Copies of this chain bind each other. A is one copy, B any other.
Protein backbone atom coordinates (compact mmCIF):
# COMPACT_ATOMS: atom_id res chain seq x y z
CA UNK A 1 0.00 0.00 0.00
CA UNK A 2 1.58 3.23 -1.15
CA UNK A 3 2.51 6.33 0.77
CA UNK A 4 -0.19 8.51 -0.78
CA UNK A 5 -2.82 5.94 0.10
CA UNK A 6 -1.61 5.90 3.70
CA UNK A 7 -2.11 9.66 3.87
CA UNK A 8 -5.61 9.31 2.46
CA UNK A 9 -6.67 6.69 5.00
CA UNK A 10 -5.07 8.70 7.79
CA UNK A 11 -7.06 11.70 6.62
CA UNK A 12 -10.20 9.64 7.12
CA UNK A 13 -9.03 8.60 10.60
CA UNK A 14 -8.32 12.25 11.45
CA UNK A 15 -11.83 13.22 10.35
CA UNK A 16 -13.17 10.62 12.79
CA UNK A 17 -10.87 11.98 15.50
CA UNK A 18 -12.45 15.38 14.95
CA UNK A 19 -15.82 14.03 16.03
CA UNK A 20 -14.60 13.82 19.58
CA UNK A 21 -12.84 17.16 19.75
CA UNK A 22 -13.74 19.02 22.91
CA UNK A 23 -15.58 16.04 24.41
CA UNK A 24 -13.00 13.46 25.45
CA UNK A 25 -11.01 15.11 28.23
CA UNK A 26 -8.93 13.94 30.01
CA UNK A 27 -8.34 11.53 27.12
CA UNK A 28 -7.12 12.53 23.67
CA UNK A 29 -9.66 12.50 20.83
CA UNK A 30 -8.40 9.72 18.61
CA UNK A 31 -9.66 8.31 15.32
CA UNK A 32 -9.18 4.78 13.97
CA UNK A 33 -10.02 3.18 10.66
CA UNK A 34 -9.53 -0.51 9.83
CA UNK A 35 -8.82 -1.30 6.19
CA UNK A 36 -8.60 -4.71 4.48
CA UNK A 37 -8.22 -5.30 0.76
CA UNK A 38 -8.73 -1.57 0.16
CA UNK A 39 -12.05 -1.46 1.96
CA UNK A 40 -13.02 0.09 5.26
CA UNK A 41 -14.19 -2.60 7.68
CA UNK A 42 -14.25 -0.64 10.92
CA UNK A 43 -14.35 2.94 12.12
CA UNK A 44 -14.01 4.36 15.60
CA UNK A 45 -13.39 7.54 17.52
CA UNK A 46 -12.93 8.28 21.21
CA UNK A 47 -16.35 8.56 22.76
CA UNK A 48 -17.50 11.42 25.03
CA UNK A 49 -15.69 11.31 28.37
CA UNK A 50 -12.85 9.32 26.84
CA UNK A 51 -14.21 5.73 26.56
CA UNK A 52 -14.49 3.51 24.62
CA UNK A 53 -11.31 4.26 22.74
CA UNK A 54 -11.29 4.62 18.96
CA UNK A 55 -9.56 1.28 18.34
CA UNK A 56 -12.00 -0.67 20.52
CA UNK A 57 -14.94 0.84 18.65
CA UNK A 58 -13.45 0.11 15.21
CA UNK A 59 -12.54 -3.47 16.18
CA UNK A 60 -16.05 -4.07 17.49
CA UNK A 61 -17.45 -3.01 14.14
CA UNK A 62 -15.00 -5.10 12.12
CA UNK A 63 -15.40 -8.28 14.18
CA UNK A 64 -13.45 -11.26 12.87
CA UNK A 65 -12.64 -9.56 9.57
CA UNK A 66 -10.07 -7.44 11.45
CA UNK A 67 -7.69 -10.37 11.10
CA UNK A 68 -5.02 -9.33 8.61
CA UNK A 69 -6.28 -5.75 8.36
CA UNK A 70 -4.35 -2.47 8.59
CA UNK A 71 -5.28 -0.16 11.46
CA UNK A 72 -4.88 3.58 10.82
CA UNK A 73 -4.73 5.37 14.16
CA UNK A 74 -4.18 9.08 14.78
CA UNK A 75 -2.29 8.30 18.00
CA UNK A 76 -0.23 5.36 19.22
CA UNK A 77 -2.54 2.69 20.71
CA UNK A 78 -2.49 2.73 24.48
CA UNK A 79 -0.37 0.10 26.20
CA UNK A 80 -1.83 0.26 29.70
CA UNK A 81 -4.76 -1.62 31.13
CA UNK A 82 -7.05 0.74 33.01
CA UNK A 83 -10.03 0.13 35.25
CA UNK A 84 -12.04 1.74 32.45
CA UNK A 85 -11.01 -0.73 29.75
CA UNK A 86 -8.33 -2.92 28.19
CA UNK A 87 -5.20 -1.64 26.43
CA UNK A 88 -5.90 -1.00 22.74
CA UNK A 89 -2.55 -2.50 21.79
CA UNK A 90 -3.66 -5.81 23.28
CA UNK A 91 -7.00 -5.60 21.47
CA UNK A 92 -5.28 -5.02 18.12
CA UNK A 93 -2.89 -7.95 18.75
CA UNK A 94 -5.74 -10.23 19.78
CA UNK A 95 -7.74 -9.29 16.67
CA UNK A 96 -4.87 -10.32 14.43
CA UNK A 97 -4.29 -6.90 12.84
CA UNK A 98 -1.34 -7.15 10.43
CA UNK A 99 -0.21 -3.55 10.23
CA UNK A 100 -0.54 -0.45 12.40
CA UNK A 101 -0.11 2.94 10.74
CA UNK A 102 0.04 5.69 13.37
CA UNK A 103 0.28 9.47 12.99
CA UNK A 104 2.27 9.98 16.18
CA UNK A 105 3.41 8.44 19.44
CA UNK A 106 1.48 8.88 22.68
CA UNK A 107 3.40 11.08 25.16
CA UNK A 108 1.50 9.49 28.08
CA UNK A 109 4.32 7.82 30.10
CA UNK A 110 2.15 4.71 30.48
CA UNK A 111 2.36 4.23 26.70
CA UNK A 112 5.13 6.40 25.17
CA UNK A 113 6.40 3.87 22.59
CA UNK A 114 5.35 0.74 24.47
CA UNK A 115 2.25 0.38 22.31
CA UNK A 116 4.41 0.25 19.19
CA UNK A 117 7.02 -2.02 20.85
CA UNK A 118 4.49 -4.54 22.07
CA UNK A 119 2.76 -4.63 18.64
CA UNK A 120 6.09 -5.20 16.87
CA UNK A 121 6.97 -7.92 19.35
CA UNK A 122 3.70 -9.62 18.42
CA UNK A 123 4.68 -9.56 14.73
CA UNK A 124 2.65 -6.53 13.66
CA UNK A 125 4.26 -4.15 11.15
CA UNK A 126 4.28 -0.59 12.52
CA UNK A 127 4.54 2.62 10.50
CA UNK A 128 4.60 6.00 12.26
CA UNK A 129 4.69 9.72 11.46
CA UNK A 130 1.94 9.80 8.81
CA UNK A 131 0.19 13.22 8.94
CA UNK A 132 1.88 13.92 12.25
CA UNK A 133 1.42 17.70 12.29
CA UNK A 134 -2.30 17.37 11.55
CA UNK A 135 -2.58 14.76 14.29
CA UNK A 136 -0.81 16.99 16.79
CA UNK A 137 -3.16 19.85 15.98
CA UNK A 138 -6.13 17.53 16.40
CA UNK A 139 -5.22 16.74 20.01
CA UNK A 140 -3.85 20.15 20.94
CA UNK A 141 -6.05 20.09 24.05
CA UNK A 142 -4.60 16.82 25.32
CA UNK A 143 -1.03 17.84 24.46
CA UNK A 144 -1.33 21.27 26.08
CA UNK A 145 -2.83 19.82 29.26
CA UNK A 146 0.04 17.33 29.38
CA UNK A 147 2.85 19.80 28.58
CA UNK A 148 1.59 22.90 30.41
CA UNK A 149 -0.92 21.50 32.90
CA UNK A 150 -3.68 23.73 31.57
CA UNK A 151 -6.25 23.65 28.75
CA UNK A 152 -5.52 24.70 25.19
CA UNK A 153 -7.05 28.19 24.98
CA UNK A 154 -8.80 29.68 21.96
CA UNK A 155 -9.58 33.40 22.11
CA UNK A 156 -12.48 34.41 19.90
CA UNK A 157 -12.86 38.00 18.71
CA UNK A 158 -15.53 39.34 16.36
CA UNK A 159 -14.61 42.82 15.16
CA UNK A 160 -15.20 45.47 12.55
CA UNK A 161 -12.45 46.31 10.06
CA UNK A 162 -11.24 48.92 12.53
CA UNK A 163 -11.00 46.48 15.44
CA UNK A 164 -14.14 47.44 17.35
CA UNK A 165 -16.23 44.87 19.21
CA UNK A 166 -19.10 47.24 20.07
CA UNK A 167 -20.40 50.78 19.75
CA UNK A 168 -19.63 53.21 22.62
CA UNK A 169 -22.91 52.21 24.31
CA UNK A 170 -21.96 48.53 24.19
CA UNK A 171 -24.19 47.62 21.23
CA UNK A 172 -22.66 44.67 19.40
CA UNK A 173 -25.60 42.99 17.70
CA UNK A 174 -24.70 42.36 15.08
CA UNK A 175 -21.23 42.96 13.82
CA UNK A 176 -20.75 39.70 11.95
CA UNK A 177 -23.31 37.92 9.80
CA UNK A 178 -25.24 34.66 10.28
CA UNK A 179 -22.58 32.42 8.70
CA UNK A 180 -19.87 33.71 11.05
CA UNK A 181 -22.16 33.42 14.06
CA UNK A 182 -23.06 29.85 13.11
CA UNK A 183 -19.37 29.08 12.84
CA UNK A 184 -18.87 30.40 16.37
CA UNK A 185 -21.49 27.91 17.57
CA UNK A 186 -19.66 25.11 15.76
CA UNK A 187 -16.45 26.17 17.48
CA UNK A 188 -18.23 26.14 20.84
CA UNK A 189 -19.15 22.51 20.25
CA UNK A 190 -15.45 21.73 19.87
CA UNK A 191 -14.55 22.98 23.35
CA UNK A 192 -15.27 21.50 26.73
CA UNK A 193 -15.88 24.94 28.22
CA UNK A 194 -16.46 28.58 27.33
CA UNK A 195 -15.34 31.46 29.51
CA UNK A 196 -16.53 35.07 29.71
CA UNK A 197 -15.90 37.91 32.12
CA UNK A 198 -18.39 39.54 34.43
CA UNK A 199 -18.75 42.56 32.15
CA UNK A 200 -19.96 40.37 29.31
CA UNK A 201 -22.28 38.49 31.65
CA UNK A 202 -23.87 41.72 32.82
CA UNK A 203 -24.06 43.35 29.41
CA UNK A 204 -25.19 40.41 27.28
CA UNK A 205 -26.42 37.61 29.60
CA UNK A 206 -24.95 35.24 27.05
CA UNK A 207 -26.35 31.73 26.74
CA UNK A 208 -23.08 30.51 25.22
CA UNK A 209 -24.86 27.43 23.96
CA UNK A 210 -24.68 25.63 20.65
CA UNK A 211 -27.68 26.50 18.53
CA UNK A 212 -26.99 24.40 15.47
CA UNK A 213 -29.34 21.69 14.19
CA UNK A 214 -28.09 18.34 15.45
CA UNK A 215 -25.56 19.87 17.84
CA UNK A 216 -27.95 21.21 20.48
CA UNK A 217 -26.65 18.67 23.00
CA UNK A 218 -23.06 19.79 22.48
CA UNK A 219 -23.18 22.99 24.54
CA UNK A 220 -20.03 23.29 26.63
CA UNK A 221 -19.66 24.14 30.29
CA UNK A 222 -19.88 27.84 31.12
CA UNK A 223 -17.11 29.45 33.14
CA UNK A 224 -17.12 32.95 34.58
CA UNK A 225 -13.95 34.91 35.25
CA UNK A 226 -14.90 36.71 38.44
CA UNK A 227 -13.79 37.18 42.02
CA UNK A 228 -17.35 36.59 43.23
CA UNK A 229 -19.59 33.63 42.63
CA UNK A 230 -22.60 33.65 40.35
CA UNK A 231 -25.57 31.23 40.43
CA UNK A 232 -25.50 28.81 37.51
CA UNK A 233 -21.88 29.48 36.66
CA UNK A 234 -18.56 27.86 37.50
CA UNK A 235 -16.23 30.65 38.57
CA UNK A 236 -12.49 31.14 38.43
CA UNK A 237 -10.81 34.18 39.91
CA UNK A 238 -7.85 34.56 37.54
CA UNK A 239 -6.79 33.31 34.12
CA UNK A 240 -4.11 31.06 35.65
CA UNK A 241 -6.83 29.19 37.55
CA UNK A 242 -7.81 27.44 34.30
CA UNK A 243 -5.26 24.84 35.35
CA UNK A 244 -7.80 23.65 37.93
CA UNK A 245 -10.64 23.13 35.43
CA UNK A 246 -10.84 19.34 35.58
CA UNK A 247 -12.22 17.76 32.44
CA UNK A 248 -11.45 20.82 30.34
CA UNK A 249 -8.66 20.36 27.81
CA UNK A 250 -10.02 22.91 25.34
CA UNK A 251 -11.28 26.27 26.57
CA UNK A 252 -12.80 29.02 24.44
CA UNK A 253 -12.58 32.58 25.75
CA UNK A 254 -15.40 34.67 24.32
CA UNK A 255 -14.93 38.05 25.93
CA UNK A 256 -15.09 40.87 26.59
CA UNK A 257 -12.04 43.02 26.04
CA UNK A 258 -10.89 42.98 29.65
CA UNK A 259 -11.08 39.20 29.89
CA UNK A 260 -9.38 38.72 26.52
CA UNK A 261 -6.62 41.11 27.51
CA UNK A 262 -6.09 39.34 30.85
CA UNK A 263 -5.59 36.01 29.09
CA UNK A 264 -3.20 37.55 26.55
CA UNK A 265 -1.25 39.40 29.25
CA UNK A 266 -0.87 36.08 31.09
CA UNK A 267 0.37 34.46 27.85
CA UNK A 268 -2.39 31.89 28.11
CA UNK A 269 -3.80 32.13 24.57
CA UNK A 270 -2.81 29.41 22.11
CA UNK A 271 -5.12 30.21 19.24
CA UNK A 272 -6.86 33.32 17.94
CA UNK A 273 -10.21 32.81 16.24
CA UNK A 274 -11.00 36.07 14.48
CA UNK A 275 -14.16 37.04 12.67
CA UNK A 276 -14.05 40.34 10.85
CA UNK A 277 -17.02 42.08 9.30
CA UNK A 278 -16.64 44.47 6.34
CA UNK A 279 -17.84 47.46 8.34
CA UNK A 280 -16.31 50.47 10.04
CA UNK A 281 -17.55 51.49 13.48
CA UNK A 282 -15.17 54.28 14.46
CA UNK A 283 -15.64 55.41 18.05
CA UNK A 284 -16.49 52.33 20.10
CA UNK A 285 -15.14 49.56 22.27
CA UNK A 286 -11.75 48.17 21.34
CA UNK A 287 -11.21 44.44 21.04
CA UNK A 288 -8.36 44.58 23.52
CA UNK A 289 -7.02 46.72 26.33
CA UNK A 290 -3.60 46.48 27.96
CA UNK A 291 -1.98 43.15 27.13
CA UNK A 292 1.35 44.01 28.72
CA UNK A 293 3.22 44.87 25.55
CA UNK A 294 6.46 46.72 26.33
CA UNK A 295 7.51 47.60 22.77
CA UNK A 296 6.16 47.21 19.26
CA UNK A 297 8.95 44.84 18.33
CA UNK A 298 7.75 42.45 21.04
CA UNK A 299 4.41 42.08 19.27
CA UNK A 300 5.98 40.45 16.23
CA UNK A 301 6.63 36.77 15.63
CA UNK A 302 4.04 35.56 18.11
CA UNK A 303 1.23 34.48 15.79
CA UNK A 304 1.15 32.35 12.68
CA UNK A 305 -1.78 32.26 10.27
CA UNK A 306 -3.26 28.76 10.12
CA UNK A 307 -6.57 29.25 8.34
CA UNK A 308 -8.33 32.02 6.48
CA UNK A 309 -11.64 31.91 4.71
CA UNK A 310 -14.75 33.88 3.92
CA UNK A 311 -17.93 33.14 5.87
CA UNK A 312 -20.53 35.01 3.86
CA UNK A 313 -19.14 38.54 3.63
CA UNK A 314 -17.08 38.18 6.82
CA UNK A 315 -13.55 36.85 6.96
CA UNK A 316 -12.54 34.22 9.47
CA UNK A 317 -8.88 33.88 10.39
CA UNK A 318 -7.20 31.44 12.73
CA UNK A 319 -3.79 32.25 14.17
CA UNK A 320 -1.81 29.96 16.40
CA UNK A 321 1.07 30.54 18.76
CA UNK A 322 4.22 30.62 16.61
Contact = CB atoms under 8 A, between A and B. Distances in A.
Interface of A: 157, 159-164, 167, 171-175, 261, 264-265, 272, 274, 277-283, 286-293, 295-296, 299-300, 302-305, 308, 313, 315, 317, 319
Interface centre among A160, A278, A304, A315, by most B CB within 10 Å?
A278
Q: How many copies does the complex hold?
A: 2
A156 to B, nearest CB: 13
Given A162-B163, A282-B293, 8 more contacts: A160-B163, A161-B163, A161-B303, A161-B317, A167-B296, A272-B280, A277-B300, A279-B302
Nearest to A310: B305
A290 B282 contact: yes
Nearest to A175: B296
Contact of A164 (B163, B278, B313): B163
A75 to B, nearest CB: 30
A166 to B, nearest CB: 8
Contacts of A303: 161, 278-280
A159 B163 CA distance: 9
A282 B261 CA distance: 7
B319 A302 contact: no
A167 B294 CA distance: 9
B296 A281 contact: yes
A278 B173 contact: no
Contacts of A174: 296
A272 B161 contact: yes
B274 A283 contact: no
A107 to B, nearest CB: 29
Contact of A288 (B167, B171, B280): B280
A278 B163 contact: no
A175 B300 CA distance: 8
Contacts of A305: 278, 313
18 contacts: A160-B163, A160-B299, A161-B272, A161-B274, A161-B319, A162-B286, A167-B293, A167-B295, A171-B296, A174-B296, A279-B299, A280-B293, A281-B293, A282-B288, A283-B288, A283-B289, A286-B286, A308-B315
A155 to B, nearest CB: 9
A298 to B, nearest CB: 9
B282 A319 contact: no
Nearest to A161: B274
A295 B291 CA distance: 29
Contacts of A287: 162-163
Contacts of A317: 161
B160 A159 contact: no
A47 B120 CA distance: 76
Contacts of A291: 280-283
A173 B160 CA distance: 23
B173 A162 contact: no
B279 A300 contact: yes
